């Protein structure tokens, strides 16, 4: 049986830069296992790295290169946008989270690792959101 596809949200990737070693190690293990991200995730990583973490462009580009080498990147398309609007309305998610969910669904993922969305949420009977830092669950 093929391994289930997993999507990794921005907040999980940002823990690669964290001083919280437990979360950083968990994020690193997830990314090294492979996974799928979207162009939106890459853009959000850049935004946080530059604006909140004050990282220089050279370090941001090194981080992006690492992430892209380990994860498959899904494009942001009009189909993603339309699905995201549908998800936002139906599940009452903010638009940015809904676009992440839409990208994960369109990529055929069954698992979405995110610390920001409701742990255990099942979307369209296909995609389950898991907080990979929750100690009370198996991933």
Q: What is the pLDDT of residues 45-93, one digit of tens each?
A: 999 999 999 999 999 999 999 999 999 999 999 999 999 999 999 999 9
Residue 18 reports pLDDT greater than 60: yes
Contacts of 122 (CB under 8 A, 6+ apart): 128, 129
> What is the domain partition of the chain in residue ranges?
6-130
Q: pLDDT value at position 139? A: 44
Residue 137 reports pLDDT greater than 80: no
CATH number assigned to the domain covering 6-130? 3.40.50.1010
Q: Cite the beta strand spans of 4-116 per DSSP E.
A: 6-8, 36-38, 72-74, 111-113
How many CB atoms sit inside 10 A of residue 134's CB? 12
Q: pLDDT value at position 3? A: 62
């Amino acid at each position: 049986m093929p391994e289930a596809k997993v999507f990794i949200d921005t907040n999980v990737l940002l823990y690669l830069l964290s001083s919280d070693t437990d979360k950083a190690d968990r994020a690193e293990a997830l990314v090294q296992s492979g996974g799928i991200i979207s162009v939106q995730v890459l853009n959000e990583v850049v935004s946080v790295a530059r604006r909140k973490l004050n990282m220089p462009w050279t370090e941001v580009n090194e981080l992006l290169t690492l992430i892209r080498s380990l994860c498959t990147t899904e494009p942001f398309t009009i189909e993603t946008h339309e699905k995201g609007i549908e998800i936002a309305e139906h599940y009452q998610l903010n638009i940015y989270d809904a676009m992440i969910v839409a990208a994960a669904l369109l990529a055929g993922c069954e698992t979405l690792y995110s610390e920001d969305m409701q742990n255990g949420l099942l979307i369209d009977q296909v995609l389950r959101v898991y907080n990979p830092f929750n100690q009370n669950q198996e991933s």
